[in-house]
């Protein structure tokens, strides 16, 4: 069964320091165009993500979002205690050496010390801002498992969408074949109508052509408007379409080429028709083919 290129999948990896969420969204595209949006994946792991997404999802515009939600304990930035103490001691030493400075009461001293600590905590280098590596070797097995789960969810989504696409496009191919049956029913009537118009025109002109020569010219004229080859080729293309969609795992690109050939035969039939009902039927065939073309652009 065919797959759609539209899909969505999500999975989570619960790590000691927090939760990592992987979201994958896919749309139609000519090739595998992978985009990874993350601030926590190291470059080497990002390459593994990219390769795995290309291998398993095959084709389409593939967007992967990796987000990180740390635990409450991990959210608080650690304080560089040694640096804070060094600043505190230096500032107290400078303050105590200022002329006219008196320590005052114990309550005043405590208040000043607290204010001093609060001021030092606002220094930009007091907080330890070193980046913690979330996806390290220890966390990787859980992250890799989450990636596979998200990919599996995307493929399940694509399978469901593919089933709907298959039902739609194959029913429209069947309609085109039914319209082709109508064209074949109209064909003898078309030939008779052309001959009748020519005979009427000769009568109105008062012309009396040689009967044998007239038949030869009539045959030549009707051959120019013969659509038997177009009918045969269109049926062959429809069969090839069905064989391809049923027999290949990723038929999307090939179906596009077959649809072009189907359109060529339908257009030629319309240009040769010279018959109102056949031309109306051709318009209906074109309408169905255009809907098949639109849907096939999303087939993997």
Report the distance separating Cα 196 and Cα 192, nearest Å: 6
In the chain, the DSSP E strands lie at: 7-15, 18-27, 32-38, 60-70
Report the distance separating Cα 134 and Cα 20, nearest Å: 9
Q: What angle do CA 172, 175, 181 make, to 5 degrees?
A: 150
Kindly list the distances between the CA atom of residue 217 and the CA atoms of 17, 86, 95, 167, 221, in Å, as whole numbers in the listed order. Answer: 89, 111, 119, 48, 6
Residue 153: per-residue pLDDT: 97
pLDDT > 90? residue 168: yes
Do 22 and 145 fall within a single domain?
A: yes
Do 114 and 139 fall within a single domain?
A: no
Q: What angle do CA 166, 160, 144 make, to 5 degrees?
A: 130
Do 149 and 167 fall within a single domain?
A: no
On whether residue 127 sits in a domain, the answer given is: no
Do 99 and 230 fall within a single domain?
A: no
Tell me how many domains the chain contains. 3
Report pTM: 0.74
Do 150 and 214 fall within a single domain?
A: no
Do 245 and 198 fall within a single domain?
A: yes
On whether residue 1 sits in a domain, the answer given is: no
Do 103 and 245 fall within a single domain?
A: no
On whether residue 181 sits in a domain, the answer given is: yes
Do 205 and 228 fall within a single domain?
A: yes
- pLDDT per position as a tens digit, 238-289: 999 999 999 999 999 999 999 999 999 999 998 888 788 889 999 999 999 9
Instruction: From 270, 130, 249, 108, select the one nearest 186 (Cα to Cα).
Output: 270
Contact 39, 24 (CB under 8 A): no
On whether residue 247 sits in a domain, the answer given is: yes
On whether residue 69 sits in a domain, the answer given is: yes
pLDDT > 90? residue 109: no
- Report phi then psi at 29, rounded to 5: -170, 160
Report residue 124's pLDDT band, with 50, 70 and 90 as the boundaries. Answer: confident
- For residue 281, the enclosing domain spans 161-296
- pLDDT per position as a tens digit, 19-53: 999 999 999 988 889 999 998 888 899 999 999 99
Do 62 and 188 fall within a single domain?
A: no
Do 200 and 257 fall within a single domain?
A: yes
DSSP string, 181-217: HHHHHHHHHHHHHHHHHHHHHHHHHT----HHHHHHH
On whether residue 128 sits in a domain, the answer given is: no
Domain closes at, from 64, 96, 121: 121
On whether residue 165 sits in a domain, the answer given is: yes
Do 152 and 166 fall within a single domain?
A: no
What CATH number is attached to the domain comprising 26? 3.30.230.10
Where helices occur in 69-139 by DSSP H, the ranges are 72-75, 81-96, 106-121
On whether residue 265 sits in a domain, the answer given is: yes
Do 166 and 151 fall within a single domain?
A: no
């Amino acid at each position: 069964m065919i797959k759609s290129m539209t899909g969505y999948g999500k999975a989570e990896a619960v790590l000691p320091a927090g939760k990592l969420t992987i979201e994958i969204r896919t749309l139609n595209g000519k090739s595998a165009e992978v985009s990874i949006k993350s601030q926590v994946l190291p470059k080497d792991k990002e390459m593994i993500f990219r390769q795995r997404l290309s291998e398993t999802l095959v084709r389409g515009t593939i967007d992967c979002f990796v987000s990180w939600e740390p635990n409450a304990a991990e959210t608080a930035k650690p304080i560089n205690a040694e640096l804070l103490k060094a600043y505190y001691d230096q500032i107290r030493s400078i303050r105590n050496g200022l002329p006219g400075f008196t320590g005052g009461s114990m309550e005043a001293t405590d208040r000043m010390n607290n204010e001093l600590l609060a001021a030092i905590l606002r220094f930009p280098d007091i907080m330890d801002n070193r980046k913690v590596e979330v996806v390290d070797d220890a966390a990787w097995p859980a992250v890799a498992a989450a990636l596979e789960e998200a990919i599996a969810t995307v493929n399940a989504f694509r399978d469901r969408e593919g089933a709907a696409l298959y039902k739609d496009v194959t029913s429209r191919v069947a309609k085109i074949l039914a319209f082709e049956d109508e064209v074949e029913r109209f064909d003898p009537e078309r030939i008779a109508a052309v001959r009748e118009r020519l005979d009427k025109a000769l009568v109105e002109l008062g012309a009396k052509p040689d009967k044998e020569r007239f038949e030869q010219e009539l045959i030549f004229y009707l051959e120019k408007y013969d659509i038997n080859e177009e009918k045969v080729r269109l049926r062959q293309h429809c069969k090839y379409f069905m064989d391809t969609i049923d027999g290949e795992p990723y038929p999307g690109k090939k179906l596009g080429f077959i649809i072009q050939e189907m359109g060529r035969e339908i257009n030629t039939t319309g240009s040769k028709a010279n018959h109102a009902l056949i031309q109306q039927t051709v318009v209906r065939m074109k309408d169905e083919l255009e809907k098949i073309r639109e849907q096939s652009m999303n087939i993997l």
